[in-house]
Amino acid sequence: MKSEKVITKPVDSRVSIKKTKWRTSHVYGWLFASPWVIGMLLFFAFPLLSSIYFSFTSYSIINPGEFVGLQNYRDLMNDSLFWTAIYNTVYFTVFFVPLSIFCGVSLALFLNMKVKGMAIYRTIFFLPTLVPHVAMAVLWVWLLNPQFGLVNGMLAAVGMDGPAWLGSETWSKPSLILMSLWGIGQAVVIYLAGLHDISQDYYDAAEVDGANSVQKIGHITLPLLTPVIFFNLVMGVIGAFQQFTLPYTMTKGQGTPGNSLVFYVMHIYDNGFKFFKMGYASAMAWILFVVIMALTTLIFVTSKRWVHYQGN
Amino acid sequence: MKPKLTRSIVAHTVLIVASILFLLPFLWLVSTSLKPTTQIFTWPPQWIPNPIHWRNYLDAMEYIPFFTYLKNTVVITVLGTLGVVLSCPLVAYSFAKLKWRGRDTLFFITIAVMMIPGQVTMIPLFILFEKMGWVGTNLPLIVPAFFGVPFFIFLLRQFFLGLPNELIDSARMDGAGEFRIYWQIMLPLAKPAVLAVGLFQFMAGWTDFIGPLLYLTEPDSYTMSLGLQQFQSEKGSEWGLMMAVATMMTMPIIVLFFLLQKTFIQGITFTGIKG
Amino acid sequence: MSLLNRVQMICSLMAVLVLVGTVMAGCATGQGDSANTITLWHGMTDTGKETFEQLAAQFEEKHPDFKVNVVYIAQQGEGRNEKLLAAIAGGNPPDVAFFDRFEVGSWANQGSLTDLTAMVEESDLDLEGYYPFAVEEASYKGKLYALPMGTDARMLFYNKDHFREAGIDSPPKTIAELEAAAEKLTIKKGKRFERIGFIPWLGQGWTYTWGWSFGGDFYDKDKEKVTIESEVVQSLEWMRDYAKKYNIEDVTAFTDSTGSAASDPFLTGQISMIVDVNAKISVINKYKPDLNYDVAPIPTPTGNDFTTWSGGWSLIMPKGAKNQEAAWEFMKFVAGEEGQKNYSKNTYNLSAIDSINQELYEEDPIMKQFVDLLPSSNHRPVISEGTLLWNELNKARDLAVRGKGDPRQLMQKVSNKVNKELEQ
């Protein structure tokens, strides 16, 4: 289609179009991006750079503190709770992110089928993400209540003896993963939007070739959904490493039982806002930054192998 | 016809089972909102309150200045959503479809700024807004949205990348201006994604706690999520009232989402242009 | 077509500008910081909130030149202070704030509170009437940074009906008696407790509570160091053994299942004894006024030398407060005799002033027992790392109870960590 159009034009004019296109594109690119350039400098770069500086000081929010060099970073290495927090956070990320992608894509595939009542189904899956966090934390503490909670109640109904969930060191993190999966609706909506973007033509062509549903999903849907999976993977990793509100609210900031729900950002928060060690907290934040950055770069580098864009 | 029927049955079965699992916690929320405090912790769990305690809703609306908080929440949320819908697709489009020097670097920085947890940047940002004289107003909760949100920019970029370049090229051949290409051709194509982003921002603004907590200093300007906090006191929390407010906070977005569904589905009609 | 679109676009852009303009105009009023307006921040709901508003009105009546702006903020208290912190850091804090007294040390050490020493000396305010521990807790390194307001104490609440049923005549005095009574009172079916006699770490059974009751202490004022005393270690060992005996997983299943307010386990009769603060009395009065209960001092290993500890609230003037003089007048009024009396009466709390408690609770059989204990009450050490120490002690208790680590080593870790911070 495109080549036909181009061929009818004289060669020299084509070159000049290309040139002006590049130049105007250059101007418009910056112009279109300008709100974000300003926003980023003001609302992101400035606080971010401040926190780099703070990480080398004994800043306490109230007091600017002194320059202490790498002291904060060195102290971290000897902070046993820091390592516990890392363990818990990595544990959560390793299990939650793949699970959330698997469940999210599967749900989206079902929700993309043309059956009756789809609007209601979609609303139901999206619903949990709408509940305010304070209420959600309270609600889950009740539901997972070992004795009168609904979950163990249902398990008892089928003759199973449910665990102590949030009261047990073994089960507390799986409980949190379960709760987080309940709030998967946002990712599902993104997958759904991605599925809508896949052209019907591909399926029609596959139909002609006699492909069955499973083949269609494997060869068309999943590959063409990869840009969105890629997005959810990156955001999932960033989000999982920054897990905070739910465990903090549920354990009243304590990370109980037995420190099994102390997450990285909770430790940052306690140091920064409870113990007046914002410098130390900033150092922790920058270590987190480097780790997530490394992981994201890895995902970006490998993405060239597995992410397919329809447009190209 | 037959395989289609079995497919439909399988789909419904799976969806209904999953729906029940997803719905249970929410139903429990609604059920609790209709119970007097004495009935909340009972064994075995009682699904349907007896008698139904509608009073919680009225009491909750009296306990906090409900309609004032509602109005404030609506203003912040609607304006924030408007800001995001205007700014983010524009920036994302430029990252995905326009070629310019520094683009990839800037995009990388965009991803990077999301990696520092908000707890650390919160204070410098607060001091910035204090210097601007915005603390005590709702501007810090609205204005940044007009300058783009990295999460949404990244999301929309992924969608624009999926749209074919041919449309842009041929529009350029026809002499269309860059902004017109964006506004009339590309933006409508990305409508499902833009809607999703708008919805996410709406939700985020609607349930945000720490933002309003830090920046609003007059009780007349408080939001619902701050109101929710008031049901927890030293004498024990008013769970019934709290869940009543949580239910009332959730309902409008459920309706909104349900209505938006149609538009999500309409998104399909555009796919004819692609490929 | 394109023209129409352009018009549409321009219209929507203008709409945005108008909206943004309206928001700016409508909301940019900010805090009314006229010289005579005093802003008070508090996080109290219910009667506490109403009482602050009443007190403000009374103050305005007495001082017609001043206006008090009472602002409820959706948080305040231990570990929930972002708003106040941010406001002080931003240089625009309220004039007065209702503040968890035990954090005065940490905040004063940061220089975030106004020194009130000179103001007290120049004024007619007499600190003699306040409990010594409350004044001590409001001071840091010899200077006064807060006016104590309200206090509490910990005692053993016990269900008299359960006791009669189990044939126990009097509340336990020694730890051994406590264990024996708990065992008699417990009803367990399978893994499930129908009723449990006592759980040391439930309610207000903190490391501090038992450490002091066992006769230990936590801080050496002269050396300015956190100490590890064998009595504290013994109290942790006792809790660890207790947890083992009753099986911690089962106990946690029980404690996780307990509610608050009307469904508080002590009110529902699921637990027979609990260490708690006097605030529990108002919960009982509100939700279960016919509960047949009484209070007794927290048992000790010897059966005498009973002790308790107190916390409470205070009024502070953040650093950078605009109207210091007016704020001081207001603080004096609210934390003074008249204000405290109103506050304690309305909220059914203990006052930080002894004579008020004597007057209000003379005839109150249960509250009276708390009042009698107060003069000899302990308070948490006022140090720059008070919050850290509190947090670490709680973690140590949690780990000890779960059998994760030897109590002595856990206490060693706590003291090492906090002492290291104290040295800096």
Token pair belonging to A222: 């999943």
Please answer whether residues C371 and C361 qualify as being in contact, where contact means their C-beta atoms are separated by less than 8 angstroms. yes
Give all domains of chain B, ordered by start, each with its CATH number.
Answer: 1-53 (no CATH), 54-273 (1.10.3720.10)
- pLDDT tens digits along C408-423: 999 999 999 999 999 9
Report residue A112's pLDDT band, with 50, 70 and 90 as the boundaries.
confident
CA C344 to chain A, closest CA, distance in angstroms equals 27
Rounded to the nearest 10°, the torsion over CA B12, B17, B19, B21 is -170
Instruction: Tell whether A11 is covered by a domain.
Output: no
Mean pLDDT for the stretch of residues C172-200 = 93
- pLDDT tens digits along B161-175: 888 888 888 998 998
CATH of the domain at A189: 1.10.3720.10
User: Cβ of B66 under 8 Å from any chain A Cβ?
Assistant: no
Q: Which residues pair with C312 in a beta bridge?
A: C151
Report residue C27's pLDDT band, with 50, 70 and 90 as the boundaries.
very low
Instruction: Tell whether A63 is covered by a domain.
Output: no
Instruction: Tell whether A97 is covered by a domain.
Output: yes
The model's pTM: 0.91
Q: Which of C260, A189, C256, A125 is nearest to B24 (CA)?
A: A125
Q: B116 and A37 in contact by Cβ < 8 A?
A: no
Does the CA dihedral A48-A49-A55-A59 come out positive or negative? negative
User: Cβ of B40 under 8 Å from any chain C Cβ?
Assistant: yes
* Residues shown for chain B: 275
Residue B47 is which amino acid? W
Q: A167 and C85 in contact by Cβ < 8 A?
A: no
Report residue C5's pLDDT band, with 50, 70 and 90 as the boundaries.
low
Q: How many domains does chain A have?
A: 1
Q: How far apart are CA C349 and CA C367, in angstroms?
A: 9
pLDDT over 70 for what percent of chain B? Answer: 93
User: In chain A, what is the straight-line distance between the N-terminal and C-terminal CA atoms, in Å?
Assistant: 15
**B99: nearest CB among A22, A186, A268:** A22
Q: How many pairs of residues across A and B have Cβ atoms under 8 Å apart?
A: 312
Chain A residues with a Cβ under 8 Å from any Cβ in chain C: 58, 60-63, 80, 141, 145-149, 161, 164-169, 253-254, 256-259, 270, 273-276
Report residue A117's pLDDT band, with 50, 70 and 90 as the boundaries.
confident
Contacts of C28 in chain B (CB under 8 A): 133-134, 137, 139
* SS3 of residue C193 by DSSP: strand
Q: Check whether A2 has a pLDDT greater than 80.
A: no
Q: C261 and B143 in contact by Cβ < 8 A?
A: no
If residue C196 lies in a helix (H) or strand (E), which one and from where to where?
strand C192-198
Token pair belonging to A299: 């995902």
Instruction: Tell whether A84 is covered by a domain.
Output: yes
Q: C398 and A274 in contact by Cβ < 8 A?
A: no
Contacts of B173 in chain A (CB under 8 A): 5, 17
Token pair belonging to C306: 């009973």
DSSP 8-state symbol, C314: E
Contacts of A200 in chain B (CB under 8 A): 268, 271-272
Report residue C1's pLDDT band, with 50, 70 and 90 as the boundaries.
very low
Q: C255 and A167 in contact by Cβ < 8 A?
A: yes
- Secondary structure E strands in C87-145: 96-100, 139-140, 143-144
Neighbour-count burial of C388, counting CB atoms closer than 10 A to its CB (0-12 exposed, 13-18 middle, 19+ buried) = buried
Instruction: Tell whether A191 is covered by a domain.
Output: yes
Instruction: Tell whether A221 is covered by a domain.
Output: yes
pLDDT score, position B255: 87
Contacts of A30 in chain B (CB under 8 A): 94, 100, 102
pLDDT score, position B2: 66
Report residue B236's pLDDT band, with 50, 70 and 90 as the boundaries.
low
Domain housing A122 = 70-131+169-304
What is the CB neighbour count within 10 angstroms for residue C96?
Answer: 27
Does the CA dihedral A66-A69-A71-A77 come out positive or negative? positive
Instruction: Tell whether A76 is covered by a domain.
Output: yes
Mean pLDDT for the stretch of residues C51-66 = 95
Q: How far apart are CA C44 and CA C74, in angstroms?
A: 9
- pLDDT tens digits along B65-87: 999 999 999 999 999 999 999 99
Which residue's entry shows tokens 């005498």? C304
Neighbour-count burial of A157, counting CB atoms closer than 10 A to its CB (0-12 exposed, 13-18 middle, 19+ buried) = exposed
**Counts of helices then strands in chain C (DSSP H, E):** 19, 16
